[in-house]
């Protein structure tokens, strides 16, 4: 099992460009989520999905879109990148069922810089 | 290099000593708590979890203590090793599909 795989690992964009961050998991996890990590602020939830075809907003959803067409993939889209979106982005997944017995598993992140 | 963690509180310990990392959580309705370890350039890695109906849970070299009265969580690492050097995050889970993360503590282990 590869676990949670994120691509690319690094990316530099210009303001206004669009981009999709990819996330795939091979554990057949129904729950998937996206976080951003900024200095001194811990991880903050952007969007999450409890299964294919279902997505919901987290704490900081503005400027990001998601879709969930398959169980395996949960891409995060930046439609018009802004410098405030410079961050490290993490994707995570877990099994469905009792959330108190299913810690999330994280990928190794995408480091995104917006110039 | 990694820019995350520039302003984190830091705990420095000598190899072989015990480490205690503390965390205050915010939501009194949270009923599940998780500790994660994050090494440079990596994603958070699960260490140990605890449900709110417990006060203490032990793993291999790690113990988590939960004090719901003061909304406090701690992670104890026994016989700290250089490989334990990392940033440690606590996360609380209210009755919803969302985790709330703390800001993290950097653990530095000296020989």
Check: CB of residue B106 under 8 Å from CB of residue B9: yes
Q: Which two tokens stand for residue B66?
A: 């939960």
C-alpha span between A68 and A48 (Å, rounded): 9
How confident is the model over B15-28, as pLDDT tens digits? Answer: 999 999 999 998 99
> pLDDT tens, B53-92?
999 999 999 999 999 999 999 999 999 999 999 999 999 9
Q: Which of the residues A6, A97, A99 would you substitute to probe the B interface, choosing the one with the greatest number of B C-beta atoms within 10 Å? A: A99
pLDDT digits (tens, 9 = 90+) for A11-51: 999 999 999 999 999 999 999 999 999 987 789 999 999 99
List the single residue in B31, B93, B103 with the smallest CB-CB distance to A41: B103
Number of neighbouring beta carbons within 10 Å of residue B5: 18
Please tell me what DSSP assigns to residue A62: T
B46 to A108: CB separation less than 8 angstroms, yes or no:
no
Ramachandran area for residue B31 (φ above 0: left; ψ -120 to 50: alpha; else beta) = alpha
CB-based contact A31 B7, cutoff 8 Å: no
Q: For residues B11 and B21, give the distance between their C-alpha atoms in angstroms, rounded to a whole number.
A: 8
Please indicate whether, in this complex, the C-beta atoms of B104 and A44 are within 8 angstroms of each other: no
């Amino acid at each position: 099992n590869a676990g949670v795989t994120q691509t690319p690992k690094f990316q530099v964009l210009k303001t206004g460009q669009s981009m999709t961050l990819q996330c795939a998991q091979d554990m057949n996890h129904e729950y998937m989520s996206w976080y951003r990590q900024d200095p001194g602020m811990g991880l903050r939830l952007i969007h999450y999905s409890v299964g294919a075809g279902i997505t919901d907003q987290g704490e900081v959803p503005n400027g990001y879109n998601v879709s969930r067409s398959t169980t395996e993939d949960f891409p995060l889209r930046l439609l018009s990148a802004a410098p405030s979106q410079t961050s490290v982005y993490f994707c995570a997944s877990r099994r469905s069922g009792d959330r108190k017995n299913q810690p999330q598993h994280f990928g190794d992140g995408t480091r995104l810089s917006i110039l | 290099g990694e820019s995350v963690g520039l302003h984190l509180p830091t705990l420095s310990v000598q190899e072989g000593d015990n480490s205690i990392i503390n965390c205050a959580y915010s939501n009194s309705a949270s009923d599940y708590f998780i500790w994660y370890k994050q090494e440079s350039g990596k994603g958070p890695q699960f260490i140990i979890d605890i449900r709110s109906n417990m006060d203490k849970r032990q793993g291999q070299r790690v113990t988590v203590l939960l004090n719901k009265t003061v909304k406090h969580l701690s992670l104890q690492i026994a016989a700290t090793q250089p490989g334990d050097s990392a940033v440690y995050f606590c996360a609380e889970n209210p009755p919803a599909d969302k985790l709330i993360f703390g800001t993290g503590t950097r653990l530095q282990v000296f020989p």
